[in-house]
Structure 1
Amino acid sequence: MTVAKLLAVFPVELALHALVLAIHPPYVVAVAVLVVTTTVLVIWVVEPSAMRWLRTWLHAPHSPPATGVDALWRIRVTLPDSVGSLERLAHGLTAVDANILGLHVHTVEDGVRDELVVSAPDSIRSGALSAVVESAGGGDVQVWPTTALALIDGQTKALSLAARVVADPTELPHAVAELLGAELVTDRALLSGPLPADRTILKIPSPWTGFFAFTRPAEPFTPAESARAHRLAQLAELSLLPL
Protein backbone atom coordinates (compact mmCIF):
# COMPACT_ATOMS: atom_id res chain seq x y z
CA MET A 1 0.00 0.00 0.00
CA THR A 2 2.91 2.35 0.78
CA VAL A 3 4.49 1.64 -2.61
CA ALA A 4 1.17 2.23 -4.35
CA LYS A 5 0.74 5.60 -2.64
CA LEU A 6 4.28 6.68 -3.52
CA LEU A 7 3.81 5.68 -7.16
CA ALA A 8 0.55 7.64 -7.31
CA VAL A 9 1.90 10.77 -5.61
CA PHE A 10 5.31 10.94 -7.31
CA PRO A 11 4.07 11.93 -10.81
CA VAL A 12 1.87 14.67 -9.30
CA GLU A 13 4.74 16.09 -7.24
CA LEU A 14 7.09 15.93 -10.24
CA ALA A 15 4.64 17.68 -12.57
CA LEU A 16 3.81 20.44 -10.06
CA HIS A 17 7.45 21.20 -9.28
CA ALA A 18 8.36 21.21 -12.98
CA LEU A 19 5.48 23.61 -13.71
CA VAL A 20 6.41 26.00 -10.90
CA LEU A 21 10.07 26.02 -11.91
CA ALA A 22 9.12 26.69 -15.53
CA ILE A 23 6.87 29.64 -14.62
CA HIS A 24 9.34 30.84 -11.96
CA PRO A 25 6.94 32.92 -9.83
CA PRO A 26 8.08 34.82 -6.72
CA TYR A 27 9.36 32.59 -3.90
CA VAL A 28 6.37 33.08 -1.56
CA VAL A 29 3.89 32.45 -4.37
CA ALA A 30 5.77 29.33 -5.49
CA VAL A 31 5.75 27.87 -1.94
CA ALA A 32 2.06 28.67 -1.44
CA VAL A 33 1.06 27.13 -4.77
CA LEU A 34 3.06 23.95 -4.12
CA VAL A 35 1.74 23.48 -0.56
CA VAL A 36 -1.93 24.12 -1.34
CA THR A 37 -2.06 22.31 -4.66
CA THR A 38 -0.09 19.28 -3.51
CA THR A 39 -2.17 18.90 -0.34
CA VAL A 40 -5.49 19.14 -2.16
CA LEU A 41 -4.53 16.83 -5.01
CA VAL A 42 -2.78 14.21 -2.93
CA ILE A 43 -5.27 13.92 -0.05
CA TRP A 44 -8.59 14.38 -1.84
CA VAL A 45 -7.91 13.36 -5.47
CA VAL A 46 -4.85 11.23 -6.18
CA GLU A 47 -4.67 8.96 -3.13
CA PRO A 48 -8.41 8.03 -3.01
CA SER A 49 -8.41 7.42 -6.76
CA ALA A 50 -5.33 5.21 -6.53
CA MET A 51 -6.84 3.20 -3.66
CA ARG A 52 -10.04 2.63 -5.65
CA TRP A 53 -8.15 1.69 -8.79
CA LEU A 54 -5.84 -0.74 -6.96
CA ARG A 55 -8.48 -2.15 -4.59
CA THR A 56 -8.48 -5.67 -6.02
CA TRP A 57 -4.67 -5.77 -5.97
CA LEU A 58 -4.19 -4.31 -2.48
CA HIS A 59 -6.77 -6.47 -0.73
CA ALA A 60 -7.27 -10.20 -0.81
CA PRO A 61 -10.54 -11.38 -2.31
CA HIS A 62 -13.36 -11.85 0.15
CA SER A 63 -13.30 -15.46 1.26
CA PRO A 64 -16.49 -17.30 2.14
CA PRO A 65 -17.04 -17.94 5.84
CA ALA A 66 -15.51 -21.09 7.21
CA THR A 67 -17.82 -24.01 7.62
CA GLY A 68 -17.63 -26.99 9.89
CA VAL A 69 -16.08 -25.02 12.75
CA ASP A 70 -18.03 -24.88 15.99
CA ALA A 71 -18.73 -21.50 17.57
CA LEU A 72 -18.79 -20.94 21.32
CA TRP A 73 -21.79 -19.36 23.02
CA ARG A 74 -22.48 -18.25 26.56
CA ILE A 75 -26.04 -18.76 27.75
CA ARG A 76 -27.75 -17.56 30.91
CA VAL A 77 -31.17 -18.93 31.67
CA THR A 78 -33.50 -19.22 34.66
CA LEU A 79 -34.85 -22.74 35.12
CA PRO A 80 -37.35 -24.16 37.61
CA ASP A 81 -35.63 -25.73 40.60
CA SER A 82 -37.12 -29.13 39.84
CA VAL A 83 -35.96 -32.53 38.70
CA GLY A 84 -35.52 -32.83 34.95
CA SER A 85 -35.37 -29.13 34.04
CA LEU A 86 -31.68 -29.22 33.15
CA GLU A 87 -32.15 -32.54 31.36
CA ARG A 88 -34.84 -31.02 29.12
CA LEU A 89 -32.52 -28.15 28.31
CA ALA A 90 -29.69 -30.54 27.45
CA HIS A 91 -31.96 -32.55 25.13
CA GLY A 92 -33.10 -29.35 23.43
CA LEU A 93 -29.53 -28.25 22.80
CA THR A 94 -28.63 -31.71 21.49
CA ALA A 95 -31.36 -31.35 18.86
CA VAL A 96 -29.38 -28.49 17.26
CA ASP A 97 -26.00 -30.25 17.73
CA ALA A 98 -25.03 -27.92 20.58
CA ASN A 99 -22.74 -29.41 23.21
CA ILE A 100 -22.56 -28.15 26.82
CA LEU A 101 -18.90 -27.52 27.72
CA GLY A 102 -19.30 -25.66 30.99
CA LEU A 103 -22.02 -25.12 33.58
CA HIS A 104 -22.35 -22.89 36.65
CA VAL A 105 -25.48 -22.84 38.76
CA HIS A 106 -26.63 -19.77 40.77
CA THR A 107 -29.54 -20.03 43.17
CA VAL A 108 -32.08 -17.20 42.73
CA GLU A 109 -35.48 -16.44 44.22
CA ASP A 110 -37.56 -17.94 41.41
CA GLY A 111 -35.47 -21.03 40.62
CA VAL A 112 -31.89 -21.46 39.49
CA ARG A 113 -29.90 -19.25 37.17
CA ASP A 114 -27.75 -21.49 34.99
CA GLU A 115 -24.75 -20.18 33.09
CA LEU A 116 -23.65 -22.45 30.27
CA VAL A 117 -20.88 -22.41 27.71
CA VAL A 118 -21.90 -24.40 24.64
CA SER A 119 -20.36 -25.18 21.29
CA ALA A 120 -22.63 -25.21 18.26
CA PRO A 121 -22.18 -25.41 14.49
CA ASP A 122 -21.35 -22.05 12.97
CA SER A 123 -24.65 -22.15 11.10
CA ILE A 124 -26.55 -21.84 14.41
CA ARG A 125 -27.27 -18.24 15.41
CA SER A 126 -28.12 -16.74 18.79
CA GLY A 127 -31.83 -16.52 17.93
CA ALA A 128 -32.01 -20.24 17.28
CA LEU A 129 -30.28 -21.02 20.57
CA SER A 130 -32.63 -18.68 22.45
CA ALA A 131 -35.65 -20.39 20.90
CA VAL A 132 -34.35 -23.83 21.89
CA VAL A 133 -33.68 -22.78 25.47
CA GLU A 134 -37.09 -21.13 25.83
CA SER A 135 -38.87 -24.17 24.38
CA ALA A 136 -37.13 -26.30 27.02
CA GLY A 137 -38.78 -24.23 29.76
CA GLY A 138 -36.10 -21.60 30.28
CA GLY A 139 -36.92 -18.02 31.15
CA ASP A 140 -35.08 -14.70 30.94
CA VAL A 141 -32.74 -16.17 28.30
CA GLN A 142 -29.58 -14.32 27.33
CA VAL A 143 -27.15 -15.54 24.68
CA TRP A 144 -23.76 -14.06 23.72
CA PRO A 145 -20.87 -15.26 21.54
CA THR A 146 -17.85 -16.09 23.67
CA THR A 147 -14.33 -17.48 23.50
CA ALA A 148 -12.45 -20.38 25.05
CA LEU A 149 -11.51 -18.11 27.97
CA ALA A 150 -15.04 -18.67 29.30
CA LEU A 151 -14.07 -22.30 29.94
CA ILE A 152 -11.47 -21.41 32.57
CA ASP A 153 -12.39 -23.12 35.82
CA GLY A 154 -14.32 -20.64 37.96
CA GLN A 155 -12.89 -21.79 41.28
CA THR A 156 -9.32 -21.55 40.02
CA LYS A 157 -9.99 -18.06 38.71
CA ALA A 158 -11.55 -16.95 42.00
CA LEU A 159 -8.60 -18.30 44.01
CA SER A 160 -6.12 -16.56 41.72
CA LEU A 161 -7.94 -13.26 42.12
CA ALA A 162 -8.13 -13.74 45.90
CA ALA A 163 -4.37 -14.23 46.03
CA ARG A 164 -3.97 -11.06 44.00
CA VAL A 165 -6.12 -9.10 46.46
CA VAL A 166 -4.16 -10.45 49.45
CA ALA A 167 -0.88 -9.40 47.86
CA ASP A 168 -2.23 -5.94 46.99
CA PRO A 169 -5.62 -4.88 48.48
CA THR A 170 -5.81 -1.91 46.08
CA GLU A 171 -6.42 -4.50 43.34
CA LEU A 172 -9.87 -5.21 44.85
CA PRO A 173 -12.03 -3.24 42.35
CA HIS A 174 -10.13 -4.63 39.37
CA ALA A 175 -10.29 -8.19 40.71
CA VAL A 176 -14.05 -7.98 41.31
CA ALA A 177 -14.60 -6.51 37.83
CA GLU A 178 -12.61 -9.38 36.31
CA LEU A 179 -14.33 -12.02 38.44
CA LEU A 180 -17.83 -10.86 37.48
CA GLY A 181 -17.12 -9.67 33.95
CA ALA A 182 -18.37 -6.24 35.00
CA GLU A 183 -17.29 -2.62 34.69
CA LEU A 184 -16.27 -0.44 37.61
CA VAL A 185 -18.56 2.58 37.97
CA THR A 186 -16.48 5.75 38.17
CA ASP A 187 -19.30 8.27 37.69
CA ARG A 188 -20.85 8.67 41.13
CA ALA A 189 -23.73 10.66 39.61
CA LEU A 190 -25.12 7.36 38.33
CA LEU A 191 -25.42 6.18 41.93
CA SER A 192 -27.09 9.25 43.38
CA GLY A 193 -30.56 7.68 43.20
CA PRO A 194 -31.86 4.25 44.21
CA LEU A 195 -30.23 1.23 42.61
CA PRO A 196 -32.12 -0.25 39.63
CA ALA A 197 -34.46 -3.12 40.46
CA ASP A 198 -33.03 -5.27 37.65
CA ARG A 199 -29.85 -5.90 39.72
CA THR A 200 -27.53 -4.62 36.98
CA ILE A 201 -25.55 -2.52 39.51
CA LEU A 202 -23.72 -4.12 42.43
CA LYS A 203 -22.22 -2.25 45.40
CA ILE A 204 -19.61 -3.66 47.77
CA PRO A 205 -17.94 -1.95 50.75
CA SER A 206 -14.53 -0.43 50.26
CA PRO A 207 -11.83 -1.34 52.82
CA TRP A 208 -10.91 2.33 52.97
CA THR A 209 -14.07 4.41 52.79
CA GLY A 210 -17.39 4.39 50.99
CA PHE A 211 -18.02 1.64 48.47
CA PHE A 212 -17.24 0.33 45.01
CA ALA A 213 -19.97 -0.09 42.42
CA PHE A 214 -20.01 -2.30 39.36
CA THR A 215 -22.34 -2.41 36.38
CA ARG A 216 -23.19 -5.13 33.91
CA PRO A 217 -26.18 -3.89 31.88
CA ALA A 218 -26.68 -7.07 29.88
CA GLU A 219 -26.60 -9.45 32.86
CA PRO A 220 -28.16 -8.95 36.30
CA PHE A 221 -25.89 -9.94 39.18
CA THR A 222 -26.94 -13.12 40.96
CA PRO A 223 -26.91 -13.49 44.77
CA ALA A 224 -23.98 -15.91 44.47
CA GLU A 225 -21.96 -13.35 42.50
CA SER A 226 -22.79 -10.68 45.05
CA ALA A 227 -21.59 -12.97 47.84
CA ARG A 228 -18.30 -13.65 46.00
CA ALA A 229 -17.66 -9.94 45.51
CA HIS A 230 -18.36 -9.19 49.19
CA ARG A 231 -16.00 -11.98 50.25
CA LEU A 232 -13.22 -10.44 48.18
CA ALA A 233 -13.93 -7.09 49.86
CA GLN A 234 -13.68 -8.75 53.29
CA LEU A 235 -10.43 -10.39 52.24
CA ALA A 236 -9.00 -7.02 51.18
CA GLU A 237 -10.02 -5.51 54.54
CA LEU A 238 -8.40 -8.36 56.50
CA SER A 239 -5.21 -7.94 54.47
CA LEU A 240 -4.95 -4.37 55.72
CA LEU A 241 -5.09 -5.33 59.40
CA PRO A 242 -1.75 -5.29 61.26
CA LEU A 243 -0.34 -8.73 62.04
Structure 2
Amino acid sequence: MDASEGSYGTDDRTRPGFLGREALDLGVLLLAAGAAHVLVLSLGHSDGGVRALITMGVILLAVSALHRWHRHRSAATRRPRTGGRARKGAPKTRGAVPDRPEEAVDRLWSVRVTLADLPGGLAALTARFASLGVDIRLVRVHPDEEETTDEFLVSAPAHVGEETLYSAVLGAGVRDAIVRPADVHELSDTTSRTLRLVSALVEGATTLEGALLSLASAQDVERAEEAPEGMGREDTDGTTMTLPAPDGAVLVVRRVGVPFTAVEFARCRALVQVAASLHGRSRQR
Protein backbone atom coordinates (compact mmCIF):
# COMPACT_ATOMS: atom_id res chain seq x y z
CA MET A 1 0.00 0.00 0.00
CA ASP A 2 1.45 3.40 -0.93
CA ALA A 3 1.14 6.77 0.85
CA SER A 4 -1.80 7.87 -1.31
CA GLU A 5 -3.93 5.07 0.21
CA GLY A 6 -3.60 6.42 3.79
CA SER A 7 -0.64 4.42 5.11
CA TYR A 8 1.58 5.70 7.89
CA GLY A 9 5.27 5.41 8.62
CA THR A 10 6.88 3.29 11.26
CA ASP A 11 7.39 6.24 13.65
CA ASP A 12 4.72 6.18 16.45
CA ARG A 13 4.47 9.98 16.31
CA THR A 14 2.90 9.77 12.84
CA ARG A 15 0.16 7.39 13.95
CA PRO A 16 -3.32 8.30 15.29
CA GLY A 17 -3.57 8.50 19.11
CA PHE A 18 -0.08 9.92 19.63
CA LEU A 19 -1.02 11.60 22.99
CA GLY A 20 -2.51 8.38 24.33
CA ARG A 21 0.70 6.48 23.47
CA GLU A 22 2.81 9.08 25.30
CA ALA A 23 0.62 8.91 28.39
CA LEU A 24 0.94 5.11 28.43
CA ASP A 25 4.76 5.29 28.26
CA LEU A 26 4.86 7.87 31.04
CA GLY A 27 2.60 5.74 33.26
CA VAL A 28 4.81 2.66 32.79
CA LEU A 29 7.88 4.73 33.67
CA LEU A 30 6.31 6.09 36.90
CA LEU A 31 5.13 2.62 37.91
CA ALA A 32 8.62 1.18 37.42
CA ALA A 33 10.20 4.02 39.42
CA GLY A 34 7.73 3.54 42.29
CA ALA A 35 8.29 -0.24 42.37
CA ALA A 36 12.05 0.29 42.46
CA HIS A 37 11.71 2.80 45.31
CA VAL A 38 9.58 0.40 47.37
CA LEU A 39 12.04 -2.44 46.72
CA VAL A 40 15.01 -0.33 47.82
CA LEU A 41 13.25 0.92 50.98
CA SER A 42 12.16 -2.57 51.98
CA LEU A 43 15.52 -4.24 51.42
CA GLY A 44 18.00 -1.43 51.76
CA HIS A 45 17.77 -1.09 55.58
CA SER A 46 19.16 -4.60 56.22
CA ASP A 47 22.49 -6.15 55.42
CA GLY A 48 20.84 -9.03 53.59
CA GLY A 49 18.75 -6.68 51.48
CA VAL A 50 21.80 -4.74 50.24
CA ARG A 51 23.51 -7.98 49.20
CA ALA A 52 20.33 -9.12 47.46
CA LEU A 53 20.14 -5.86 45.45
CA ILE A 54 23.78 -6.16 44.38
CA THR A 55 23.34 -9.81 43.41
CA MET A 56 20.22 -9.03 41.33
CA GLY A 57 22.06 -6.20 39.55
CA VAL A 58 25.00 -8.46 38.67
CA ILE A 59 22.66 -11.16 37.38
CA LEU A 60 20.75 -8.69 35.20
CA LEU A 61 24.00 -7.30 33.73
CA ALA A 62 25.26 -10.82 33.00
CA VAL A 63 21.99 -11.84 31.33
CA SER A 64 22.04 -8.68 29.20
CA ALA A 65 25.65 -9.24 28.09
CA LEU A 66 24.95 -12.90 27.25
CA HIS A 67 21.91 -11.93 25.22
CA ARG A 68 23.85 -9.33 23.21
CA TRP A 69 26.64 -11.86 22.50
CA HIS A 70 24.15 -14.47 21.32
CA ARG A 71 22.48 -11.99 18.90
CA HIS A 72 25.85 -10.95 17.47
CA ARG A 73 26.87 -14.56 16.87
CA SER A 74 23.55 -15.44 15.19
CA ALA A 75 23.87 -12.47 12.83
CA ALA A 76 27.41 -13.53 11.85
CA THR A 77 26.23 -17.09 11.13
CA ARG A 78 23.43 -15.90 8.84
CA ARG A 79 25.76 -13.60 6.87
CA PRO A 80 26.32 -15.01 3.31
CA ARG A 81 29.82 -16.34 2.69
CA THR A 82 31.80 -15.73 -0.46
CA GLY A 83 33.20 -18.58 -2.51
CA GLY A 84 36.82 -17.52 -1.95
CA ARG A 85 39.13 -14.69 -1.12
CA ALA A 86 39.59 -12.11 -3.84
CA ARG A 87 43.10 -11.76 -5.13
CA LYS A 88 44.81 -8.52 -4.25
CA GLY A 89 44.74 -6.15 -7.17
CA ALA A 90 42.43 -8.34 -9.26
CA PRO A 91 39.62 -6.43 -11.01
CA LYS A 92 36.13 -7.16 -9.73
CA THR A 93 33.73 -7.96 -12.54
CA ARG A 94 30.04 -8.56 -12.20
CA GLY A 95 28.84 -11.95 -13.32
CA ALA A 96 32.35 -13.30 -13.85
CA VAL A 97 32.40 -17.01 -14.63
CA PRO A 98 34.99 -18.94 -12.61
CA ASP A 99 37.69 -20.74 -14.55
CA ARG A 100 36.63 -24.19 -15.58
CA PRO A 101 38.83 -27.05 -14.53
CA GLU A 102 40.98 -28.52 -17.20
CA GLU A 103 38.86 -31.65 -17.52
CA ALA A 104 35.77 -29.53 -18.29
CA VAL A 105 37.27 -27.81 -21.34
CA ASP A 106 35.93 -28.86 -24.76
CA ARG A 107 38.23 -31.13 -26.76
CA LEU A 108 39.03 -31.17 -30.47
CA TRP A 109 38.54 -34.37 -32.46
CA SER A 110 39.01 -35.48 -36.04
CA VAL A 111 36.21 -37.70 -37.33
CA ARG A 112 36.95 -39.21 -40.73
CA VAL A 113 34.20 -41.23 -42.38
CA THR A 114 33.15 -42.72 -45.69
CA LEU A 115 29.49 -41.89 -46.14
CA ALA A 116 27.12 -44.36 -47.72
CA ASP A 117 25.82 -43.27 -51.11
CA LEU A 118 22.31 -42.72 -49.81
CA PRO A 119 20.13 -39.57 -49.60
CA GLY A 120 20.23 -37.90 -46.20
CA GLY A 121 23.44 -39.57 -45.04
CA LEU A 122 25.22 -36.31 -44.21
CA ALA A 123 22.11 -34.92 -42.49
CA ALA A 124 21.89 -38.00 -40.26
CA LEU A 125 25.54 -37.61 -39.27
CA THR A 126 25.24 -33.92 -38.40
CA ALA A 127 22.08 -34.67 -36.38
CA ARG A 128 24.08 -37.19 -34.34
CA PHE A 129 26.72 -34.55 -33.68
CA ALA A 130 24.06 -32.06 -32.57
CA SER A 131 22.48 -34.54 -30.15
CA LEU A 132 25.83 -34.84 -28.34
CA GLY A 133 26.45 -31.09 -28.23
CA VAL A 134 29.29 -31.45 -30.76
CA ASP A 135 30.22 -28.36 -32.77
CA ILE A 136 31.56 -28.86 -36.32
CA ARG A 137 34.50 -26.48 -36.82
CA LEU A 138 35.83 -27.56 -40.22
CA VAL A 139 34.96 -30.06 -42.97
CA ARG A 140 37.47 -31.45 -45.46
CA VAL A 141 36.33 -33.46 -48.46
CA HIS A 142 38.65 -36.12 -49.95
CA PRO A 143 37.13 -37.28 -53.24
CA ASP A 144 38.37 -40.46 -54.86
CA GLU A 145 37.57 -42.35 -58.04
CA GLU A 146 35.02 -44.60 -56.37
CA GLU A 147 34.04 -42.94 -53.09
CA THR A 148 34.40 -39.81 -51.01
CA THR A 149 35.91 -39.51 -47.56
CA ASP A 150 34.79 -36.63 -45.34
CA GLU A 151 36.85 -35.40 -42.40
CA PHE A 152 35.13 -33.38 -39.68
CA LEU A 153 37.11 -31.38 -37.14
CA VAL A 154 34.71 -31.08 -34.23
CA SER A 155 34.74 -29.57 -30.76
CA ALA A 156 33.08 -31.89 -28.24
CA PRO A 157 32.24 -31.46 -24.53
CA ALA A 158 34.68 -33.02 -22.11
CA HIS A 159 32.32 -35.90 -21.25
CA VAL A 160 32.07 -36.97 -24.90
CA GLY A 161 34.96 -39.34 -25.49
CA GLU A 162 36.33 -41.29 -28.42
CA GLU A 163 34.03 -44.30 -27.93
CA THR A 164 30.92 -42.09 -27.72
CA LEU A 165 31.82 -40.28 -30.94
CA TYR A 166 32.61 -43.54 -32.70
CA SER A 167 29.28 -45.09 -31.69
CA ALA A 168 27.36 -41.99 -32.79
CA VAL A 169 29.08 -41.96 -36.17
CA LEU A 170 28.41 -45.64 -36.85
CA GLY A 171 24.75 -45.11 -35.96
CA ALA A 172 24.48 -42.56 -38.77
CA GLY A 173 25.04 -45.18 -41.47
CA VAL A 174 28.71 -44.53 -42.29
CA ARG A 175 31.59 -46.97 -42.73
CA ASP A 176 35.33 -46.86 -42.25
CA ALA A 177 35.00 -44.41 -39.37
CA ILE A 178 38.19 -43.13 -37.73
CA VAL A 179 38.08 -40.96 -34.61
CA ARG A 180 41.26 -39.44 -33.20
CA PRO A 181 42.29 -36.42 -31.09
CA ALA A 182 43.09 -33.40 -33.25
CA ASP A 183 45.46 -30.49 -32.84
CA VAL A 184 44.29 -26.89 -32.91
CA HIS A 185 46.68 -26.17 -35.80
CA GLU A 186 44.61 -28.48 -38.00
CA LEU A 187 41.78 -25.93 -37.91
CA SER A 188 43.66 -23.67 -40.33
CA ASP A 189 42.61 -23.65 -43.96
CA THR A 190 44.52 -26.30 -45.93
CA THR A 191 45.35 -23.97 -48.82
CA SER A 192 46.70 -21.28 -46.50
CA ARG A 193 48.72 -23.84 -44.56
CA THR A 194 50.22 -25.25 -47.76
CA LEU A 195 51.22 -21.79 -48.96
CA ARG A 196 52.86 -21.02 -45.62
CA LEU A 197 54.85 -24.25 -45.84
CA VAL A 198 55.96 -23.45 -49.40
CA SER A 199 57.05 -19.99 -48.25
CA ALA A 200 58.99 -21.53 -45.38
CA LEU A 201 60.73 -23.92 -47.80
CA VAL A 202 61.71 -21.05 -50.10
CA GLU A 203 63.09 -19.00 -47.21
CA GLY A 204 64.86 -21.98 -45.68
CA ALA A 205 62.85 -21.74 -42.46
CA THR A 206 61.92 -25.44 -42.56
CA THR A 207 63.04 -28.70 -44.11
CA LEU A 208 61.13 -30.82 -46.57
CA GLU A 209 60.67 -33.50 -43.91
CA GLY A 210 59.25 -30.98 -41.44
CA ALA A 211 56.90 -29.54 -44.07
CA LEU A 212 55.60 -33.02 -44.93
CA LEU A 213 55.00 -33.82 -41.27
CA SER A 214 52.84 -30.72 -40.93
CA LEU A 215 50.98 -30.99 -44.24
CA ALA A 216 50.17 -34.70 -43.90
CA SER A 217 49.56 -34.62 -40.11
CA ALA A 218 52.01 -37.51 -39.99
CA GLN A 219 54.07 -38.90 -37.12
CA ASP A 220 57.23 -39.90 -38.96
CA VAL A 221 59.20 -39.12 -42.14
CA GLU A 222 62.08 -41.46 -42.91
CA ARG A 223 64.74 -40.95 -45.57
CA ALA A 224 65.62 -44.28 -47.20
CA GLU A 225 67.62 -45.52 -50.17
CA GLU A 226 64.78 -47.67 -51.47
CA ALA A 227 61.02 -47.72 -51.08
CA PRO A 228 59.47 -50.29 -48.71
CA GLU A 229 58.78 -53.70 -50.19
CA GLY A 230 55.77 -53.73 -52.49
CA MET A 231 55.72 -49.94 -52.98
CA GLY A 232 57.12 -47.65 -55.64
CA ARG A 233 59.16 -44.52 -55.15
CA GLU A 234 55.97 -42.46 -55.46
CA ASP A 235 53.13 -44.45 -53.99
CA THR A 236 50.58 -44.83 -51.16
CA ASP A 237 49.60 -47.90 -49.20
CA GLY A 238 47.19 -47.27 -46.35
CA THR A 239 49.03 -45.29 -43.68
CA THR A 240 52.34 -45.21 -45.61
CA MET A 241 53.28 -42.83 -48.41
CA THR A 242 56.49 -42.73 -50.47
CA LEU A 243 57.82 -39.68 -52.32
CA PRO A 244 61.07 -39.12 -54.25
CA ALA A 245 63.42 -36.75 -52.43
CA PRO A 246 65.25 -34.07 -54.48
CA ASP A 247 68.63 -35.73 -53.73
CA GLY A 248 67.54 -39.12 -55.10
CA ALA A 249 66.53 -40.77 -51.83
CA VAL A 250 63.01 -41.92 -50.92
CA LEU A 251 60.93 -40.16 -48.29
CA VAL A 252 58.72 -42.61 -46.39
CA VAL A 253 55.86 -40.81 -44.63
CA ARG A 254 53.92 -42.74 -42.01
CA ARG A 255 50.76 -41.91 -40.09
CA VAL A 256 49.18 -43.94 -37.29
CA GLY A 257 45.67 -45.27 -37.83
CA VAL A 258 44.55 -42.90 -40.62
CA PRO A 259 45.15 -43.98 -44.24
CA PHE A 260 46.29 -41.35 -46.71
CA THR A 261 43.78 -40.22 -49.30
CA ALA A 262 44.45 -39.38 -52.94
CA VAL A 263 43.97 -35.67 -52.19
CA GLU A 264 46.58 -35.73 -49.39
CA PHE A 265 49.00 -37.63 -51.60
CA ALA A 266 48.60 -35.04 -54.37
CA ARG A 267 49.28 -32.16 -51.95
CA CYS A 268 52.43 -33.79 -50.57
CA ARG A 269 53.67 -34.65 -54.07
CA ALA A 270 53.22 -31.01 -55.13
CA LEU A 271 55.20 -29.88 -52.08
CA VAL A 272 58.03 -32.26 -52.99
CA GLN A 273 58.05 -30.90 -56.53
CA VAL A 274 58.50 -27.37 -55.16
CA ALA A 275 61.43 -28.58 -53.03
CA ALA A 276 62.95 -30.33 -56.07
CA SER A 277 62.68 -27.11 -58.07
CA LEU A 278 64.44 -25.17 -55.32
CA HIS A 279 67.13 -27.86 -55.09
CA GLY A 280 67.75 -27.69 -58.86
CA ARG A 281 68.10 -23.90 -58.82
CA SER A 282 70.55 -24.01 -55.93
CA ARG A 283 72.77 -26.49 -57.84
CA GLN A 284 72.81 -24.28 -60.94
CA ARG A 285 74.22 -21.31 -59.02
Task: Specify if TM > 0.5.
Answer: yes
Structure-1 separation of matches of 2:236 and 2:185: 30
Counterparts of residues 1-243 of structure 1 (less than 5 Å)? 69-80=105-116, 83-168=119-204, 171-182=207-218, 183-186=220-223, 191-195=227-231, 198-239=237-278, 240-241=280-281, 242=284
**Higher relative contact order (Cα pairs below 8 Å, separated by 6+ residues):** 1
In structure 1, the gaps of 5 or more residues are 1-63
Amino acid at match of 1:168: G
Corresponding residue SS for 2:246: coil
Aligned pair in 2 of structure 1 residues 168, 65: CA closer, same or farther (>3 Å)?
closer
TM (norm. structure 2) is 0.56
Report the aligned-residue RMSD.
2.7
Structure-2 separation of matches of 1:149 and 1:197: 24
How far apart are 1:114 and its partner, in Å? 1.1
Residues 105-146 of structure 1 show CA distances to partners (whole Å, capped at 9, x for unaligned) of: 101344211111111221111111111111112111111123
How far apart are 1:67 and its partner, in Å? 6.5
Corresponding residue SS for 1:237: helix
Aligned pair in 2 of structure 1 residues 192, 229: CA closer, same or farther (>3 Å)?
closer
Residues 47-80 of structure 1 show CA distances to partners (whole Å, capped at 9, x for unaligned) of: xxxxxxxxxxxxxxxxx96565322211111113
Structure-2 separation of matches of 1:205 and 1:170: 18
Residues 183-230 of structure 1 show CA distances to partners (whole Å, capped at 9, x for unaligned) of: 1024668x4411498521101111121321101131111000100011
Structure-1 separation of matches of 2:201 and 2:102: 42
CA contact (8 A) 2:246 2:272 kept: yes
151-160 or 75-84, larger mean C-alpha shift = 75-84
Q: Count residues in correspondence.
A: 179
Corresponding residue SS for 2:176: strand
Residues 2-43 of structure 1 show CA distances to partners (whole Å, capped at 9, x for unaligned) of: xxxxxxxxxxxxxxxxxxxxxxxxxxxxxxxxxxxxxxxxxx
Structure-2 separation of matches of 1:82 and 1:104: 19
TM (norm. structure 1) is 0.65
Structure-1 separation of matches of 2:136 and 2:209: 31
Aligned pair in 2 of structure 1 residues 198, 133: CA closer, same or farther (>3 Å)?
farther
CA contact (8 A) 1:80 1:112 kept: no
Amino acid at match of 2:170: E
Aligned pair in 2 of structure 1 residues 142, 176: CA closer, same or farther (>3 Å)?
same
* Rg (Cα) greater in structure: 2
Task: Give the ranges of 4+ consecutive aligned residues of structure 1 lying more than 6 Å apart after TM superposition.
Answer: none
Corresponding residue SS for 2:194: helix
CA contact (8 A) 1:207 1:237 kept: yes
How far apart are 1:81 and its partner, in Å? 5.1
How far apart are 1:234 and its partner, in Å? 1.0
Structure-2 separation of matches of 1:96 and 1:156: 31
